[in-house]
Structure 1
Amino acid sequence: MNRSTLKDLLEKYRTPFEEEKDFVPEFIVLTGDPKAFLRERKEGHFTASAWIVNKTRTHALLTHHKKLNRWLQLGGHADGNENLMEVAMTEAKEESGLISLKLVDSLIFDIDKHLIPANKKEKQHFHYDVRFLVEAAMDESLTVSEESKDLAWVAFDAVPDVVGNNKSILRMLEKTSKSEYAL
């Protein structure tokens, strides 16, 4: 995958969720920015995430993000890598220690534009997050990274209680139960 492939995937991307539809044109335009995959693009840049589920689609793997102090999907910055699928898989492995990760589909699973609050190192900015659906075995041991406070397999019915009103995670949860992604 490169920025041209990403642009093609975004142009073909379809979603029934209005908030996600609103993001698509911005994501497409961003693919043309030379700094789109770099943190140095201060107004916002691409990131990639893995929505990790178990094979029977009953649990999702979430990380308690240290800086944001919230339960989230695993993922991170592209740091110049235009292959966001590769970024998502690399980040998932680094942040979980899992080896058994399996990409379910090479198509984009979800997109989300969200504001990252200012901190000591950077001003507030947007993450344009491209997400992929990934499977993993729940019996494999987890390794908490320096970026996390904790990792947990969370039962689908408990995810709303854990993530609160995080619409993007609730959206991915809903998508996971749809027939095209269910077993």
Structure 2
Amino acid sequence: MSTSLITEITQYQTVNEQEERDKALILAELTNNPQVFLRESSLAHMTASAWVVNEDKTKVLMVYHHIYNSWSWLGGHADGEEDLLKVAIKEVKEESGLKQVSPVSTNIFSLEVLTVDGHIKHGQYVSSHLHLNVTYLLEAKEKDKLVIKPDENSGVAWFPLEKAVEASTEPWFQKHVYQKLNAKLVERNKR
């Protein structure tokens, strides 16, 4: 079990009640569930997401995700990898076709516990479960070529910050995740 990730999450400064409660749940699972980095952990498993911004941090990269039928951030399952920043970068490259993606910071940008409804993936039913998610702020060049990943998404595009929130058709994500990420980005850019 990654003690460095536990330390990073423990030291992470939450910004609201959602993050405070989700942080406690993620730490409990990291401490008590030795399978949490694997999808075989059927009730909850670790994931990493990315809020990918362009060079001047005025736009966000989104994909049109098949399972959610919505524009959404990029990310995926840890699948045994405990370096979640590495997972986030790998997922962004796979889902967008981008070759160059770099962290704006190696620090955790946000924490979320996300519900995933049961769905069909690769012809098999996946039961409803939780994603214990760590989000990183990443950067890519807006002019670099984007490519869809047909088995996961049908679109990849840059959106101005507020348009990224509006593009999502998932009200919970709009209100509790994407608006929060944008607010944190704006606050960070003021420093």
TM-score band (shorter)? over 0.9
Tell me which residue corresponds to 1:9: 8
Within 5 A, what are the aligned runs for 1:51-70?
Answer: 51-70=51-70
Tell me which residue corresponds to 1:19: 18
Structure 2 residue 160 is matched with structure 1 residue 160: no
Runs of 5+ consecutive residues of structure 1 not aligned to the other structure: none
83-92 vs 14-23, which moves further: 14-23
User: Cα distance, 1:182 vs. partner?
Assistant: 5.2
Q: Deviations over 1:91-123 (max 9, x none)?
A: 011111112211111110011111100123211
**Mapped partners of 1:169, 1:157: distance in 2:** 9
Tell me which residue corresponds to 1:135: 139
Structure 2 residue 176 is matched with structure 1 residue 176: no
Query: Percent of counterpart pairs with the same letter?
Result: 30
**Mapped partners of 1:170, 1:151: distance in 2:** 20
**Mapped partners of 1:29, 1:3: distance in 2:** 13
**Mapped partners of 1:91, 1:82: distance in 2:** 14
Runs of 5+ consecutive residues of structure 2 not aligned to the other structure: none
Match 1:150 to one of 151, 155, 177: 155
**Mapped partners of 1:181, 1:91: distance in 2:** 25
**Mapped partners of 1:156, 1:3: distance in 2:** 33
User: Cα distance, 1:157 vs. partner?
Assistant: 2.6
Structure 2 residue 45 is matched with structure 1 residue 42: no
- Tell me the SS of whatever aligns to 1:79: coil
Match 1:122 to one of 106, 121, 126: 126
Indicate if the aligned counterparts of 1:57 and 1:182 stay in contact, CA closer than 8 A. Answer: no
- Relative to structure 1, is the Cα distance of residues 182 and 101 closer, same or farther in structure 2, using a 3 angstrom cutoff? farther
Within 5 A, what are the aligned runs for 1:54-93?
Answer: 54-93=54-93
**Mapped partners of 2:135, 2:52: distance in 1:** 10
Number of residue equivalences = 181
Give the CA RMSD over aligned residues.
1.4
**Mapped partners of 2:134, 2:142: distance in 1:** 24
**Mapped partners of 2:161, 2:21: distance in 1:** 26
TM-score by length of 2: 0.90
Tell me which residue corresponds to 2:108: 108
- Tell me the SS of whatever aligns to 1:31: helix
- Relative to structure 1, is the Cα distance of residues 58 and 93 closer, same or farther in structure 2, using a 3 angstrom cutoff? same
**Mapped partners of 1:169, 1:10: distance in 2:** 20
**Mapped partners of 1:105, 1:64: distance in 2:** 26
Indicate if the aligned counterparts of 2:47 and 2:84 stay in contact, CA closer than 8 A. Answer: yes
TM-score by length of 1: 0.94
Instruction: Looking at secondary structure, tell me which structure has more helix per residue.
Output: 2
Aligned-partner residue type, residue 73 of structure 1: W
